[in-house]
Structure 1
Amino acid sequence: MLTLHTAELLVSGPGRAPLPAGAVVVDGDRIARVGPYEDLAAAFPHARTRRWPGVLTPGLRVLGADELLERTYYPDDPYEVPELGADPISGEAAVEALKMTEARWGNSARRGTQKLLARGVVAVCGRFTVASVRTAVSRSGLVILPPAAYEEPPGLDPLAGRDTAGEAFHGQLEPGVVARFAVFAVADEAELLTQGATTCVATVIGGRLLHRRR
């Protein structure tokens, strides 16, 4: 099925000029066309249309994902929150006190990947050594990339510490590539950087809508 995603502003890649009322046509798991909404709506009159508020960009890439998913624990809400609190638990001593098992790491990683998808993340950099974590990440749809150097401690928001939002983009939006993009409820790329990735309203990977803000 063809799906036409359109937003108030389209930024198709790092350094590219923004396109007001831009759109992306997705055919299966790939991008078929990118351009002005009016042109694409006329060219694909039978496509299902999804209209989003804000800015549509390539999905984001997060660094240090092994630190985020193999050395950080995400409490199970609501069952563990009264005892552990809602915030992620990190630090060697704090995590060791939880007496983690591989199964528990896998469950935590699934919750962690949902948090990443809710921030427009489509790709993670890291080397996963816990089998259940690696499985959880693979099943989430996130692209696993080799480890990349980082200076700041890794966090769930891949825009934190960036000079431009484009530095966190994974790839570009163009015909023929796998459809991986996100939409953020902000006015432009500059506001995306200041407001952060929690403004995400939708995340698409392989043409599938894997996160949508209710």
Structure 2
Amino acid sequence: MRTIHTAPLVLPVGAAPVVDGAVLVEGDRVAAIGRYADIADEGVRVRRWPGVLTPGLRQLHGRWLLTRCYHPDPREADTLGTEPITGAALDTLAPDATRMAGSVRRGLQRMLAHGTTHLGGPFPDGVRQAVTRSGLREVPDAWRQAAPAWDGPALDPFVEGYDLPGTVHGPLAVGELADFAVFDVEDESALTAKGAGTCVATVLGGRLVHRRR
């Protein structure tokens, strides 16, 4: 299956931005990056997005967010809110294994909704199975390299102050895996200012795994 993803601005990172840009995906790989007018081909499915298309983001604190946080079920919002619960509040909640398994699934879904494609591990076996099923790609040594250093859990990788090159998993390039995200902002500076919560779509290996409704 060949699909073109087009957006007003494509930011490959490591290469020049492309206005009215597009990424052609064949299978799980990037087949071309350029102006939509140059890539458009009759018979190819086209997905049109607002904002900017970038490589997928890297969440170095994935293990911490999945094993030391509880991500409330929407049905628990009235009593627990919607933000991840950690620290003393998590100790008080004391969720059992079944509730934590649900928390892991929801945490992974919420990371995908923030444009994350690469997740810092290593993970315990049960969590690793959930990560594998989600399609997210594990960065095995990230936990050792980046212990949490902020005041609380954050699903948005930009909250630590990194720029786009310091937050993406790597450049978007022809021949590489089609792992990228789209954010409803006007440019790179707006993305780092407004954060990954502006994500409208996440693609992993050419598969659309998140789309904002």
When the two structures are superposed, what TM-score results if normalisation uses the length of structure 2?
A: 0.92
1:48 to 26, 45, 65: 45
**SS of residue matched to 2:146:** coil
**SS of residue matched to 1:69:** helix
Does the 8 Å contact 2:183/2:198 carry over to 1? yes
> Does residue 123 of structure 2 align to residue 124 of structure 1?
no
**SS of residue matched to 1:187:** coil
When the two structures are superposed, what TM-score results if normalisation uses the length of structure 1?
A: 0.91
**SS of residue matched to 2:169:** coil
> Does residue 98 of structure 2 align to residue 98 of structure 1?
no
Amino acid at match of 2:199: C
Extract structure 1 runs of 4+ deviating beyond 6 A: none
In structure 2, C-alpha distance between the alignment counterparts of 1:87 and 1:36, rounded to whole Å: 39
Structure number having the greater helix percentage: 2
1:87 to 74, 83, 94: 83
**SS of residue matched to 2:25:** strand
In structure 2, C-alpha distance between the alignment counterparts of 1:163 and 1:74, rounded to whole Å: 24
Q: Shift of residue 98 of structure 1?
A: 2.6
Q: Shift of residue 178 of structure 1?
A: 1.0
Say which is worse superposed, 109-118 or 167-176, in terms of deviation. Answer: 167-176
* RMSD of Structure 2 on Structure 1 (CA): 1.5
Residue aligning to 2:6: 6
1:137-176 deviations in Å (ceiling 9; x for gaps): 1111110102232563352001112241221011221121
1:136 to 130, 138, 141: 130
Does the 8 Å contact 1:102/1:132 carry over to 2? no
> Does residue 54 of structure 2 align to residue 57 of structure 1?
yes
1:149 to 135, 146, 150: 146
Instruction: Structure 1: state its 5+ residue gaps.
Output: none
Compared CA separation, residues 145 and 169, structure 1 to 2 (3 A): same
Instruction: Structure 2: state its 5+ residue gaps.
Output: none
In structure 2, C-alpha distance between the alignment counterparts of 1:89 and 1:25, rounded to whole Å: 40
- Sequence identity, in percent? 50
Query: In the TM superposition, what are the counterparts of 1:8-27 in structure 2 within 5 Å?
Result: 8-13=8-13, 15-27=14-26
1:48-81 deviations in Å (ceiling 9; x for gaps): 0111110000000011111101000011111x22
**SS of residue matched to 1:75:** coil
In structure 1, C-alpha distance between the alignment counterparts of 2:8 and 2:167, rounded to whole Å: 21
In structure 1, C-alpha distance between the alignment counterparts of 2:8 and 2:108, rounded to whole Å: 27
Count of residue pairs the alignment pairs up: 208
